[in-house]
Amino acid sequence: MRWKRKLPTLAVASTMLVATALIVIVDRADAADVLLSHNRPATSSSTESSEYGPENAVDGSATSRWASVEGSDPQWLRVDLGSSVAINRVKLTWEDAYGSAYRLETSPDGTAWTTVKTVTGADGGTDDHTGLSANGRYLRVYGTARGTSYGYSLWELEVYGPDGTPDPGGADHQAENATLSQAAVFSNHAGYTGTGFVDYTDVVGGYIEWTVTAAAAGSRPGTFRYANGTTAGRPLSIAVNGVTVTSGLVFNPTGSWSTWTDQTINVPLQAGANTIRATATTATGGPNMDKLTLGTAPTASPTPSPSPTGGTTFTVAAAGDIADQCTASSSSCQHPKTAALVTAMNPEFVITMGDNQYDDARLSDFRNYFDKTWGKFKSKIRPAPGNHETYDPAGEYAGYKSYFGSIAYPQGKSYYSFNHGNWHFIVLNSNSFDDDAQISWLQADLAANTKGCIAASWHHPLYSSGDHGNDPVSRPIWQMLYNEGADLVLNGHDHHYERFGPQDPDGDADPNGIVELLGGMAGAPPYPIVNVQPNSLKRLSGTYGVIKLTFTDSTFSSQLIGTDGAVKDTSPTYTCH
C-alpha cells in the first residue's frame, strides 16, 4: 500500500525541502507501481448512453465515468493493456452506482479468462486491490451483483504493474514516484494526475529520474506533462541511460501553475531497464512536473511482419471540421449528433482530418466542446491538425497538442503513421507541406512500408468542388503517394462531402489512381459547391455526417452516414493496387 502523509506546502521554509525530498525517496520504495491502463482501449458489455462510454474509466479524469445500462446483471468493463504484462494492483473508483459483488479477471487474448480475485459484500467508494499476482494483456471487471437498483458506474479503473513491468506504450510514470534530487513533491496546485507533482528547487542541477522497462529496444515518444506559471521558459537537459539526448529543451509558460500541457521528444530505449533523467540547467530550476508517458514504438521503420491470414475486416470512422462552439443544449449544434453516429459505428479507430475544434482551437474550447462529444473516442482518435489548430493565441498547436498529447504526437511530431491489418495509415500536417523534415520523413516511411494497402489523411484537399477549391500545396505529396501505389486519401477543410473516383496527381481519371474522400461536414457550418471538379462523383452540401469506411486485407469501401442515420452515399468496393 502507498503510504499516506501530508506534504508540506510552498509556504514551508526552504530548509524543509531536503527533508521533504528524503521523505519522498523513502515513500517511493513502496509506491513505484507502473500505471498501465491510462488511455488504453476500453470496451464494456453496455453503456447507459454515449456520454458514459468505457473510455471514460481510463482517461485519468475525476469528472468523466463509465456507466452500464440500469437494472441488469452481469455487466463488465475491459481494458486492453497492449501486451501481456504483470499486474499487481487494481484500483476501482466507483460512482454511486457500485458493484457489491464482482470478479477481477485477466486474459491473454480477450477470450479465455482467469479469475484473479472474487469480491463480495463491497460497499462502493474506492476499492484498492493490492498484492495481486497476475499476468495478462486484458483486465476485466466482471460485475455479478449491483449494490443499487441502477447499473454499474466507475469514475476510474486503474491497473498497475510492479516496478520493472515492460511499458506497452501509453503507461504513465508519475514524477512523484521517481528519484529526486533538489526537487520535492507538492500538491498545492490543481490539475495533477497522480498523488502530487514535483517542484524543482531554484538551482542548476536538480533532477527527476524515472526508471522504465522496455520490452524491446527502439526509439519511442516520451511526453512530459508539466506546468510553468512564470513568464519565461524553463529548460531541461534530458538524458537516457546517462547519455544526453537533448539539452536546453525549453518548457514554455503555460499561463498558470494549474494549467498543464505536454512536451514530447523521441526517447531511445534499450531492451530492459532504462533511466530517463530531466535536469534543470538554469538557476530558476525546472517546471512543475506531473508525469512522463511513453508512447508506442514509431512505425517509420517497422519490423517486417507477415500479412494477416484468413482476412481482416475492420471499420473506421472519418470526418473533419468538427466541433463548433456549441453544445447539445442547442438543437442546431451538430457535433453531438455526429458523435452519436461514431458511437453507433463502434469503429476500430477514428480518423479526424483537421479543424477538430473551432474557432481558435484553444485548450479551453477543446475541453468545453470537442471533449464533451467526440472526446468519448479520444483514445481511438488518430487526429491531423488543420489551419484552425494554428490560430490558438497561446501558440500554434498549443491547445491541440495539450488536449491530444501523445495521441497526436506518437512519434514526437505532428505527422506519424501506424499499421492495422494489411493497411498502412499515414497522418500528415498539411499546414507545413513545405517542411523538408516532413517530406524526408514521408519518403522514409513509404520506403519502409511492408503493408499491401496505403491510406493517408490530412486537412487541405488537393481537389475540392467547394468554396476553398483546389489546394495545390499537396500535389508533391500526392505524387509521392501515387508513386508508391497508395489507395485512399482523406481530407477536410471545405465544409461539404465529396467523393472522387481514382485519379492521378494531375486530376486525370486513372484506375490505378488514388480515391479522395472529402469529409468536412462533422459540425462546422456548411460551405456551398462552387466549381465541380472533373472526377467528382458525388457532392453534398448542408448534409452533416460521418464517413464509415470498411477495410479488408485487399479492399476498401465507404458510406456517408447522415445525422438522421440514413446512408447518403455508398462507394464501389475498390481493390488495393
Buried b (16+ CB within 10 A) or exposed e, 267-289: bebeeeebebbbbbbeebbbbbb
Q: Sorting pLDDT into bands at 50, 70 and 90, what band is 194?
A: confident
Average predicted confidence (pLDDT) for the chain: 87
Q: Within a 10 A sphere around the Cβ of 307, how many other Cβ atoms? A: 12
Residue with grid cell 488504453, as numbered in its chain:
40
Instruction: For 346-374, write each residue's pLDDT tens digit.
Output: 899 999 999 999 999 999 999 999 999 99
Instruction: For 277-308, write each residue's pLDDT tens digit.
Output: 999 999 999 999 999 988 764 433 333 333 33
Omega before residue 74 within 30° of 0, cis:
yes
Q: Is pLDDT above 50 for 471?
A: yes
Joined together, the cell numbers standing for residue 350 give: 477514428
Instruction: For 320-345, write each residue's pLDDT tens digit.
Output: 999 999 999 999 999 999 999 999 89
DSSP state of 484: T
**Phi, psi torsion values for 187, nearest 5 degrees:** -145, 25
Task: Give the whole-angstrom CA distance, residue 212 versus residue 172.
Answer: 10
Residue range 35-161 in CATH 2.60.120.260: yes
Beta pairing partners, 141? 77, 104
Q: Is pLDDT above 80 for 319?
A: yes
Fold classification of 14-32+171-294 (topology level) = Jelly Rolls (2.60.120)
Instruction: For 57-111, write each residue's pLDDT tens digit.
Output: 988 888 889 999 999 999 999 998 877 788 999 999 999 999 999 999 999 888 8
Looking at the chain, the domain(s) classified CATH 3.60.21.10 span: 316-575
**Phi, psi torsion values for 430, nearest 5 degrees:** -75, -5
Q: Is pLDDT above 80 for 11?
A: no
- SS3 of 101, please? strand
Beta pairing partners, 119? 102
Instruction: For 505-548, write each residue's pLDDT tens digit.
Output: 999 999 999 999 999 999 999 999 999 999 999 999 999 999 99
Q: For residues 407 and 374, is the Cβ–Cβ distance under 8 A? A: no
CATH code of 316-575, in short, is 3.60.21.10
Query: Which pLDDT score is estimated for 440?
Result: 92
Task: Give the whole-angstrom CA distance, residue 277 versus residue 287.
Answer: 14
Looking at the chain, the domain(s) classified CATH 2.60.120.260 span: 14-32+171-294, 35-161
Prediction pTM value: 0.52
Buried b (16+ CB within 10 A) or exposed e, 216-232: eebbbbbbbbbbbeeee
Joined together, the cell numbers standing for residue 28 give: 517511493
DSSP state of 225: E
Which of 26-40, 155-169, 557-571 holds the top average pLDDT?
557-571
Query: Which pLDDT score is estimated for 32?
Result: 56
Instruction: For 230-278, write each residue's pLDDT tens digit.
Output: 988 899 999 998 888 887 788 988 889 999 988 888 788 887 778 999 9
- The CA dihedral of 375, 381, 384, 388, to the nearest 10 degrees, is -10
CA distances, 486 to each of 402, 405, 454, 479 (Å): 32, 28, 5, 10
